[in-house]
Amino acid sequence: MSVFWCHTALIDGDPVEGVRVSADADGRIRRLQTEVAASAGDVPLGLVLPGFGNAHSHAFHRALRGRTHDAGGDFWQWRQRMYAAATALDPELYEQLAHAVFAEMLTSGYTAVGEFHYLHHRPGGAPWCDQYAPHAMEHALARAARACGIRLTLLDTCYLAGGIGQPLAPEQAGFSDETAERYLERWYALRDSLTGYGDSVRLGAALHSVRGVPRAAITTLLAGLPSDVPLHMHLSEQPQENADCVREYGLTPTGLLAELGALSPRLSVVHATHLTETDLALLGAAGVTAVFCPTTEADLGDGIGPARRLVDAGARLALGSDQNAVVDPLLEIRGLEYGERLASGRRGRFSPAELARIATDHGYRALGLSAGPEETAGGLRVGAWCDLVELDAASVRTAGADPGQIVLAGTAADVRSVIVGGRVVAQHGLLVTPTGVTPSTAADPAVLLERALARLDTSTTVPRPASEVSR
């Protein structure tokens, strides 16, 4: 059993002093004491939050950071650079890159990640299993997560079309299983193959979007997937998606999902940027989670989504790093609140306590990691995973900050220690081995990223101009 004594901890978003957290052998919180003194043998910590849940990631997009900002353009032009990175990956390189990205996440305070994964096959669509074992790309992600100690919910994604009413573009062929039935067959086989990873890896499902999955296929997938697994989907990220959906189906993407019975508390819709008033009411009434990715939405010029109005309508919010141009849960928090301020002209659209819950507990719920059904329970509670993040409350960024407002002052640079399942897995920006911090370069995410990206650069092909690829 591990026992941590926190000088101050945020419980349900509010600061509490003298918090003693006891973890059982399974890595869950067995006992939670407040306003108590430390005991001999406790691991002392300073200012502690529950682990941050990254509810939406594309790990391989990290390869584009700092490399796509020179030519302007929009989401659609950026997408061609993304396709070029995707086609350069094989299972070995993907595992190396994902391990580096997950290490960066972990040392930045993310203790769990939902990987929205669609790189299933070779770039042309042929399976990898003529050279590798079945599900090679999926197991590459699972091994990468397990190696650095982050929890992984693998959101295995169905991707069948290049747009509404359009065939797949050549660059998208490796994403597709061709039919919903084949996707389901592969999904169930994948589930059976992941049993050896224990609690560190769980399988969820995702439908890429209404532009990536036709209406009939959505119906098949909803009927064929288990009802108890997390289900995610990109929704209304771009105005063009909405216009195409209305033209084809006479409904917005949200309206289409409502008609098909897809809206429910287990559904997480990613971005949800361009919504009508009717969309807001439908999503709120169904109790869905909307996963906002503020740094990505800003980087790609996607727009500012109606976060406050979604919550007021009854939806829950979570946060994700998406393209990983920024890997910093505290900057995602700031981006969410600052976007609301810019759109509304008002400060304090979300309280610091709300923001803390959004980034921690709500992210875990979206990834199927919740310990219970309580609507407002904080991430620190008996039965929850003992996943903790210690922040430096006296850095140049945080000195003088009210502990309850630390989420609007700190950054990932202030993360001192990261605990997953009652075990310290990162300290001071380095991964921790079972015997402690190691000086090995294998513990440094920067070195891991440099090596993976250098290898990727030798494999990346030149993307086709955007004008040659159907949007």
φ and ψ of 135, to 5 deg: 60, 40
DSSP state for residue 87 in the 8-state scheme: H
Using CA atoms, how far residue 17 sits from 37, 53, 158, 203, 359, in Å, is 10, 23, 46, 37, 21
Residue with tokens 């361009």, as numbered in its chain:
274
Taking the CA atoms of residue 119, residue 122, residue 124 and residue 129 in that order, the dihedral angle to the nearest 10 degrees is -130
- Give the pLDDT score at 372: 57
- Give the pLDDT score at 370: 79
**CA 76 and chain centroid, separation:** 22
pLDDT digits (tens, 9 = 90+) for 362-386: 999 999 997 655 544 458 999 999 9
DSSP state for residue 269 in the 8-state scheme: E
Would you say residue 230 has pLDDT above 90? yes
Q: Which of 4-8, 68-72, 221-225, 433-437 has the lowest mean pLDDT?
A: 433-437
Residues in the chain: 471
Would you say residue 48 has pLDDT above 50? yes
Full-model pTM: 0.94
User: Rounded distance, CA 99 to CA 143, Å?
Assistant: 8
Residue 464's pLDDT band (cuts 50, 70, 90): very low
Would you say residue 70 has pLDDT above 80? no
What stretches of 279-429 adopt beta strand conformation (E)?
289-292, 316-319, 388-391, 415-420, 423-427
- The answer to whether 407 touches 359, Cβ cutoff 8 Å, is yes
Q: What is the Cα Rg of the chain in Å? A: 21
DSSP state for residue 322 in the 8-state scheme: B
- Give the pLDDT score at 373: 54
Catalytic residue set? 271, 322
> Domains of the chain (ranges plus CATH)?
3-50+383-432 (2.30.40.10), 52-367 (3.20.20.140)
- The answer to whether 278 touches 307, Cβ cutoff 8 Å, is no
- Give the pLDDT score at 66: 87
**More reliable by pLDDT, 468 or 250:** 250
pLDDT digits (tens, 9 = 90+) for 286-344: 999 999 999 999 998 999 999 999 999 999 999 999 999 999 999 999 999 999 999 99
Averaged pLDDT of the chain? 92
Residue 82's pLDDT band (cuts 50, 70, 90): confident
- Give the pLDDT score at 376: 43
Give the mean pLDDT of 461-470. 37
Q: Which of 169-178, 328-337, 352-361, 373-382 has the lowest mean pLDDT?
A: 373-382
Residue 73's pLDDT band (cuts 50, 70, 90): low
- Give the pLDDT score at 46: 98
- Give the pLDDT score at 457: 84
Percent of the chain with pLDDT over 90: 85
Residue 76's pLDDT band (cuts 50, 70, 90): low
Would you say residue 394 has pLDDT above 80? yes
pLDDT digits (tens, 9 = 90+) for 115-166: 999 999 999 999 998 788 899 999 999 999 999 999 999 999 999 999 999 9
DSSP state for residue 350 in the 8-state scheme: S
Would you say residue 33 has pLDDT above 80? yes
Give the mean pLDDT of 281-290. 98
Residue 465's pLDDT band (cuts 50, 70, 90): very low
| Pairing status of strand 14-23 against strand 2-11 | antiparallel
- Give the pLDDT score at 19: 98
- Give the pLDDT score at 430: 96
